Amino acid sequence: MTWYPVADLADFEGRPVLAREAGGQALALYRVDGAVHATQGRCTHAGALLAEGEVVEGYIECPAHYGLFEIPTGRAQGGPVCRDLAVYPVRVEEGRVWVEVV
């Protein structure tokens, strides 16, 4: 496991979800209620980029077929999504966001 610097908190200005890459993996970063979370970047249904979706009350809505995932846990909320998202540890130090990826 390796920690990667992937964003600054300022990058979330006006946008609660960001697309990033670390260790060769696509990630989606979220800022929800002041906390930062990281999940895999592509939807488990058909691979849409989650960073192009909408954050709604702690959930990410996939832009392709509107599947919903709970952001902190990655848990799929039912059809059309049935497989959970991978989630990654996050830490914030002096405004910089780090994610731990295998």
List of residues contacting ligand FES (CB under 6 A): 43, 45-46, 48, 62, 64-65, 67, 80-81
Please name the amino acid found at residue 85: L
Minimum distance, C-beta of residue 69 to ligand FES, in the bound complex (Å): 9
Question: In this complex, which beta carbon is closest to ligand FES, that of residue 47 or of residue 95?
Answer: 47
Minimum distance, C-beta of residue 99 to ligand FES, in the bound complex (Å): 21
The number of C-alpha atoms within 13 Å of 93 and in the hemisphere containing its C-beta is: 8
Distance between CA atoms of residues 63 and 73, nearest Å = 19
Question: In this complex, which beta carbon is closest to ligand FES, that of residue 35 or of residue 46?
Answer: 46
Find the angle CA(22)-CA(64)-CA(44) to the nearest 5 degrees. 50
